[in-house]
Structure 1
Amino acid sequence: MSRFYMTTPIFYVNGDPHLGTAYAAINADAFARWHRLLGDEVLFLTGTDEHGLKIQQSADEHGVSPQAWVDHTASRFLGAWRELDISFDDFIRTTQERHHRTVQQFLTAIYENGFIEKGFYVGLYCVACEAYYEESELLEGSRCPVHERPVTEMSEENYFFKLSAFTDRLIELYESGAIRVTPEFRANEVLGFLRQGLKDISITRTSITWGVKVPWDDNHVFYVWYDALINYLTAIEYGEDTGRFAQWWPAVHHLLGKDIIRFHAVWWPAMCLAAGIDPPSQLLVTGWLLVDGAKMSKSSSNQIDPLSVVREMSSDTLRYYLLSSTSFGADGDVSLERLRASYNADLANDLGNLVSRTVALIVQKFGGKAPLVPSLDERNVTLMEFVSNGITAWNEFHPNVAIGAAMEMVRSSNSLLEHYEPWRRPVDDPESAWCLGTIREALRLAALLLSPAIPQAAHGVIERLGLSDLGPLEWRPGGEISELSRAEPLFPRLQKEK
């Protein structure tokens, strides 16, 4: 059995989940669900990042302890992910004791290997990013390139990680394909950064106390990014269960946003090498969700609340739109208007309508007894091309292409229905049985391909077709003899907003 270890970035809890954070979680969830369908053993990790200066400041502003503040804010992410049907196996919080142990063990290994030393740091720091920037990276007016806020000059005693020692090794890993990046053009971006040369970087702070203590120096806490990245090892018990670590680490797939690629594609692999373990072999980099061309973020006023969409429509509606409307890795401009249009066109008109018509015709022509699935022949074999295309697309991390293949199967099935017109044929006509048996099986396979994106609706399709489960990713002649009955529309059409 193959293993598949899927991780999301852990989400900073200094604000509510928005559509941008939901987008990352939904993509990762779809990939995890797909690999479960394939029969792989899956570990899907997500969680919250709860240390750092912003958290300490927010807690002070609210008159509570940092721990009380993060207990409150982390619960919002847990609740949101459940409403969005995020099927995580482990939800990590960086304030958990297990994580503190892993951070201290991992960074002690780097320290003992000679890649951490004490120094004095002066740099330009963005509190919102919890990151230092070079002058050349800033916008006009010494502003952060992500948050467009003025940075602060920080000066303090720090421990430094000797990142510069790994420049050549990292270039070799990317050029050889030992570290794979999807989409591929992001690997060229990383190589461009590496070829400029790397500088040693600060990894501890003395000016704050809210963080993981440095085990060899109580005056320091680890800088939030180093603490956060190590969560991927905490979940598989690095330093505590060598067997579990050896099973899962080679199967890791990190999903991240393009704005944090430097941390995951440069710092993190170098840290792994310094600690004496292999770097992650697969990075999946999403683009940004844009509203009128601007990145959606907690710090701007252009947020779309994912939970309001779920409560108005459904989690499947939101998931379908986010996964189908944008190529993985590209930026995508989103709007509620386009979301509603996508729902009506694809889910209500195409998929939902075909399911309803098929069931109604089986009830009308065959008394609800579903005709058996015919064998493949020259009239229906092309439907399996869509299945093949969908499988390839999911395996290669292209959810919009996989969803597109499933919906093309739905539309081709609808064309078959229009061609054979079973409503015009006599009761129990063999051509009607062939047509409706074919469409019923095509809808099962389409639901199977769509299930990582719309898990609830996919099972709704299966129930309406009188089937007990999604079944295999192959044409299944014969099939179950079952009684069908008319049901409520799977996707009631949305009325246009006034």
Structure 2
Amino acid sequence: NLKGVMPRSRYNEIISFLKGGVRDQSISRTTLKWGIPVPGDDAHVVYVWFDALINYVTACGYLDDRKKFDTFWPEVRHLVGKDIIRFHCVIWPIMLLALGVNPPVSVFAHGWWTVEGEKMSKSKGNVVDPFEMVERYGADPFRYFLLREVPFGLDGDFSESAVVGRINSDLANDLGNLLNRTLQMIDNFFQGSLPASCRRGEREEEIVQRAAAVLAEVDEKIEDFAFDDALKSIWSFISRGNKYIDETMPWKLAKEGKTEELSSVLNTLYDILRLSAMLVAPFIPETAARIWEQLGLDGEPVNMRFDGFSWGDRAPGHTVKKGKVLFPRIDLEEWKKAREAKAPAPAQPASEEPAIVHEELVGIDSFKAVELRVAQILNVEEIPKSKKLYKLTVDLGYEKRTIVSGIKEFFTPDELLHKKIVVVVNLQPAKLCGVESNGMLLAAGDGKKTTLALLTPDKDIPLGSRVS
């Protein structure tokens, strides 16, 4: 069963191990003081890789809740690190078969990430903080990069420049561009309302057939944990949509008064986007929801079923809601300058003050693009499992917003409540620990991460006042 252990390299590893001969395995240890005592012999504790594995079945109700166990256990798949695969593929199935319980359908071993060719290490200071990446680039772009960049199961090398490359190429140029171009043409040529769907031609039928093939490919790839291949297949469909625009030239059809052909093209493009939103939903759910909303659809794409998808399935006059660009392109030169400016300064002796690093000079127009306003903190909530983040509700006078801020180490909720602060209000929304943050408060630090001061107005001023 080649899918019993994946990827193939790990399957070969287990087969080689078994061919080398399997000896009896002791399930107790005498050299350890910690562990579960063996009944009847206090000198022994249960071997950790015997008792720990049992958690899989007990969590599903084994012996305690038969109905729950029968619901979750008949077919299970384990996702584990590649360094513990032998325990999961040799010892664990033997234990389960001895109990008369089905072993896992498959065990998939994931790889490890390096950073620009080097192993992550706290001493080297090259550990990638996922919260920092999410704050900088957004949760969906970061998720997309991790699932698309490296075949799942192999070791991968992380590079911020590669993240930016994926954002600009795949997300902005391909997906974002397809949505923006399509909705703009529906706005321009039909005042934002889709015309009646017309008869499909050969080119449209080819796209329908391609969509069916992509659905089958994605289903197969996800079943095999080949997330990168699934995304490649989805993006081939998205690229086909962009190519379809170039082939049909809707702007030319409009100029020549070919309304029926134009209607067919725009309806086809709309359905390409509708299906694409459903396809990307498991990978980049926030983006899929934003596409869905701009298409003027109800519900959530992640909850839609593919067997219920039908081309042209809508009443004439359906209205779209063109919104913000999905993924603004990142200027590489500006990005490089910002990264160089924020590079860690040389280590300073403990007695010296941290080196001051200045940012690049910016023009007045760049400064004006950052919208700063006065706000007041109305509520402070802790975010479960986060040591650094607070969920803040702030009042801008004209609206209330949620901001997630990493200031928990410096302030208690009572110190923050009702305080007036300065907020960046036109920052791209980002999701941190499952909470969407719509803005950022301003603070000053001493460079040593030992103290923090919030920027506050020194006089009473109306909420929402612009800071300039």
Alpha-carbon offset, residue 216 of structure 1: 4.5
Q: Do structure 1's residue 400 and structure 2's residue 224 form an aligned pair?
A: no
How far apart, CA to CA, are the structure 1 residues paired with 2:173 and 2:230?
19
Work out the percentage of aligned pairs sharing the same amino acid. Answer: 39
1:321 to 139, 142, 145: 145
Q: Hey, what does 1:162 align to over in structure 2?
A: none
**1:460-471 correspondence to structure 2 within 5 Å:** 460-469=290-299, 470=301, 471=304
Distance 1:298 1:285, change over 3 A: farther
Alpha-carbon offset, residue 403 of structure 1: 0.7
Q: Hey, what does 2:10 align to over in structure 1?
A: 186
Paired residue secondary structure (1:250)? coil
How far apart, CA to CA, are the structure 1 residues paired with 2:38 and 2:67?
27
Whether the 8 Å contact between 1:373 and 1:434 is mirrored in structure 2 is: yes
Q: Hey, what does 1:68 align to over in structure 2?
A: none
1:483 to 319, 329, 344: 319
Alpha-carbon offset, residue 261 of structure 1: 1.1
Over residues 106-142 of structure 1, what are the superposed CA-to-partner deviations in whole Å (9 max), with x where a residue is unaligned? xxxxxxxxxxxxxxxxxxxxxxxxxxxxxxxxxxxxx
Alpha-carbon offset, residue 204 of structure 1: 3.8
The one-letter amino acid paired with 1:332 is G
Alpha-carbon offset, residue 292 of structure 1: 3.6
How far apart, CA to CA, are the structure 2 residues paired with 1:374 and 1:198?
67
Please provide the CA RMSD for this pair.
2.6
Alpha-carbon offset, residue 378 of structure 1: 2.0
Q: Do structure 1's residue 285 and structure 2's residue 116 form an aligned pair?
A: no
2:306 to 473, 485, 489: 473
2:277 to 447, 450, 466: 447
Question: Which segments of 5 or more consecutive residues in structure 1 lack a partner in the other structure?
Answer: 1-176
How far apart, CA to CA, are the structure 2 residues paired with 1:277 and 1:460?
44
Q: Hey, what does 2:249 align to over in structure 1?
A: 421
Paired residue secondary structure (1:283)? strand
Q: Which runs of 4+ in 1 moved over 6 A?
A: 297-300
- Structure with bigger helix share is 1
Alpha-carbon offset, residue 242 of structure 1: 2.2
Q: TM-score, normalised by structure 2?
A: 0.63
**1:258-277 correspondence to structure 2 within 5 Å:** 258-277=82-101
Distance 1:295 1:463, change over 3 A: same
How far apart, CA to CA, are the structure 2 residues paired with 1:324 and 1:290?
16
Distance 1:246 1:486, change over 3 A: closer
Question: Which segments of 5 or more consecutive residues in structure 2 lack a partner in the other structure?
Answer: 338-468
The answer to which of 390-399 and 216-225 deviates more is 216-225
Aligned length: 322
**1:222-261 correspondence to structure 2 within 5 Å:** 222-261=46-85
Alpha-carbon offset, residue 342 of structure 1: 0.5
Over residues 365-418 of structure 1, what are the superposed CA-to-partner deviations in whole Å (9 max), with x where a residue is unaligned? 111112355565421233323333223222332111111111111111111112
How far apart, CA to CA, are the structure 1 residues paired with 2:295 and 2:107?
39
Bigger Cα Rg: 2
Over residues 450-484 of structure 1, what are the superposed CA-to-partner deviations in whole Å (9 max), with x where a residue is unaligned? 11111111111111111224344255133234322
Q: TM-score, normalised by structure 1?
A: 0.59
Tell which has more relative contact order, 1 or 2 (C-alpha 8 A, sep 6+).
1
Over residues 144-192 of structure 1, what are the superposed CA-to-partner deviations in whole Å (9 max), with x where a residue is unaligned? xxxxxxxxxxxxxxxxxxxxxxxxxxxxxxxxx2971222332221010
The answer to which of 420-429 and 282-291 deviates more is 420-429
Q: Hey, what does 2:414 align to over in structure 1?
A: none
The one-letter amino acid paired with 1:462 is W
The one-letter amino acid paired with 1:495 is D
Distance 1:489 1:327, change over 3 A: same
Q: Hey, what does 1:334 align to over in structure 2?
A: 158
Q: Hey, what does 2:240 align to over in structure 1?
A: 412
The answer to which of 381-390 and 183-192 deviates more is 381-390
The answer to which of 282-291 and 187-196 deviates more is 282-291
Whether the 8 Å contact between 1:369 and 1:484 is mirrored in structure 2 is: yes
Over residues 285-341 of structure 1, what are the superposed CA-to-partner deviations in whole Å (9 max), with x where a residue is unaligned? 222223244444778754211111111121111111111111222222221110111
Paired residue secondary structure (2:202)? coil
The one-letter amino acid paired with 1:356 is N
Over residues 251-307 of structure 1, what are the superposed CA-to-partner deviations in whole Å (9 max), with x where a residue is unaligned? 100011222211211121122233342322211122222324444477875421111
How far apart, CA to CA, are the structure 2 residues paired with 1:299 and 1:201?
37
**1:344-363 correspondence to structure 2 within 5 Å:** 344-363=168-187
The one-letter amino acid paired with 2:150 is T
How far apart, CA to CA, are the structure 2 residues paired with 1:235 and 1:375?
54
Paired residue secondary structure (1:284)? strand
Q: Hey, what does 1:495 align to over in structure 2?
A: 331
The answer to which of 369-378 and 245-254 deviates more is 369-378
